[in-house]
Chains A and B, each alone.
Chain A
């Protein structure tokens, strides 16, 4: 029994959610092996090897894997999976992209987006935008699983010293080409892992008005989120979207401003520890999940909020 976890990285560093996935993988079985496939990614193998739960790192260095094209990555994972009982990855746009290809190649029914490991074959996963939790048992001999990162604590980064083993690249089909990636650069914390998230919705009325949100976010060292409506309206880019088909966040503090609280948005934030809602419509569904609701005009409330925050002597970072 052992688990093969596919590391997400940018060829230089391990992406933080890989650490959460390692925690989940170690709940399935203590023998966790990590596959690092990339180009000139030796540093990533070192990072993976120093995570205490990791027992072995498989390193496949090839230009084929520089941009994680699923057509190229899936054959390598499929081949490597032969010796394993479980193949796991994060349920984000990285894992969601290639894992079903691996499952199909192995004739396995994938278990997507698990939030709990009940046993090595039984898992809990949200369905209907998190409005129901399904406990499911996989009867496939081998299992392909994607893990909701925010449902598991990140593993420690240091303390381990796993062996690193080089493996051969697999054949690639040459049917797809990477052109470019436009990453939104930000000084703020990442949305998925931030301690505080301040989100804006359609109530902001324009992209310019999002400055009211970012000012508060900067004061609180928070990430900036958005509802789908705000992203659709072009107020802010897609990588800020929180919800069923955006990102799922579980911060200590989530502040929803001008967001009515559609089921699809709640799916992405309702597990947050403390939720604040600021909305002028007292009947908005967001108030049903808020610990603290403020029924107010956001254009008046946000500047006041910033002023009150400025009065505080200290703010947790």
Chain B
């Protein structure tokens, strides 16, 4: 079996983002970038399946400017076999990303596509589901456990009410939740080895797809700030404030 795993380069989850004063977006210059956290889980699970012998090949793909190759290299250092970089100079919406991934799926013919359930920058939570729909494949979203069988995969998903178990036929799209596994750190020898692994390069605009963005970003602004609160000295004061000042008890 073969897995295509999609990774996105985003502002690191620990960075406090800053909104640009002209309302055009957020500052990305000199900001630490990393792999989108649930994409790390997607890579980890793909590599674990390879290590279990059930999967033969793991291909990591990222779409964007040249710097996304760092994100691909990281996946290669974890254990992916080869990389695909689809070059795109500007932002592409999830709909366009899904179209690009579909093209690559048709070429690479994986049995499963793994990706994170959501990117922590645009918080859209769309790409995996859209890709599955375009391919007429089943999907497993919010995945926290994977049990791969011969022709299907049994999945435990995290839903609002608790946990749900489903079984989807292969090929399938699996979008990963943060509790699926504990992503490992790449070892130095593996980082060195990853430098020798191949990364195939393509250009998004050569794929013959309509990638026009349909959503116009009018402005980006800071959310309203909460006014500063106070520290209370003890529990009695806290309860008194909640009762008499905030009137919530």
Contacts and interface: CB of A to CB of B under 8 A. Distances in A.
A35 B206 CA distance: 41
Interface string B207-240: 0000001111111111100101111101110110
Contacts of B188: none
Given A176-B138, A228-B178, A294 B235 contact: yes
Interface string B98-125: 1000000000000000000110111111
Contacts of A126: 123, 223
Nearest to B163: A182
B185 interface: no
A109 B169 CA distance: 27
- The B interface, classified by DSSP as helix, strand, loop or mixed, is mixed
Contacts of B124: 110, 112-113
Given A109-B215, A238-B179, A247-B160, A294 B120 contact: no
Interface string A71-96: 10010000000000000000011101
A292 B221 contact: no
Given A100-B94, A263-B13, A292 B223 contact: no
A299 interface: no
Question: Which of B13, B168, B214, B218 has the most A CB atoms < 10 Å from its CB?
Answer: B214
Interface in B151-192: 154, 157-169, 177-179
Interface stretch (B50-58, B63-71, B129-137): B129-137
A175 B95 contact: no
Interface band, chain A: 35 or more
Given A275-B229, A292-B230, A100 B239 contact: no
Interface stretch (B1-9, B75-83, B139-147, B194-202): B139-147
Nearest to B139: A70
Interface residues of B, number: 81
A35 B124 CA distance: 24
Contacts of A252: 248
Contact of B121 (A128, A176, A237): A128
Interface stretch (A19-27, A43-51, A134-142): A134-142
Interface string A234-278: 000111000011010000110000000001100000100111100
B88 interface: no
A196 B246 CA distance: 13
A180 B217 contact: no
Contact of A308 (B118, B159, B235): B235
B11 interface: yes
Contacts of B162: 181-184, 237-239
- The A interface, classified by DSSP as helix, strand, loop or mixed, is mixed
A133 B167 contact: no
Nearest to B11: A128
B148 interface: no
A184 B161 contact: yes
A168 interface: no
B120 A128 contact: yes
A302 B8 CA distance: 42
B239 A312 contact: yes
A133 B133 contact: no
Given A176-B167, A294-B235, A309-B249, A232 B179 contact: yes
A308 B126 contact: no
A100 B117 CA distance: 12
Contacts of A232: 178-179
Contact of B13 (A99, A102, A220, A264): A264
A138 B215 contact: yes
Contacts of A132: 17, 19, 26, 220-223
A287 interface: yes
Given A294-B238, A309-B249, A112 B161 contact: no
A294 B226 contact: no
A170 interface: no
Interface of B: 11, 13-14, 16-17, 19, 26, 38, 93-95, 98, 117-118, 120-134, 136-139, 141-142, 144, 154, 157-169, 177-179, 213-223, 226, 228-232, 234-236, 238-239, 241-243, 246, 248-249
In order of increasing CB-CB distance, the 8 nearest A-B pairs are: A100-B129, A109-B214, A104-B130, A101-B133, A104-B133, A291-B229, A100-B126, A176-B138
Given A196-B248, A239-B158, 13 more contacts: A97-B129, A97-B142, A100-B128, A110-B126, A128-B120, A136-B217, A139-B214, A175-B169, A180-B164, A232-B179, A293-B230, A308-B236, A308-B238
24 contacts: A92-B160, A100-B128, A104-B129, A107-B95, A128-B121, A131-B17, A131-B223, A132-B26, A132-B221, A134-B219, A137-B215, A175-B138, A176-B167, A178-B164, A181-B161, A182-B165, A228-B178, A232-B179, A237-B163, A238-B163, A292-B241, A294-B232, A295-B231, A304-B236
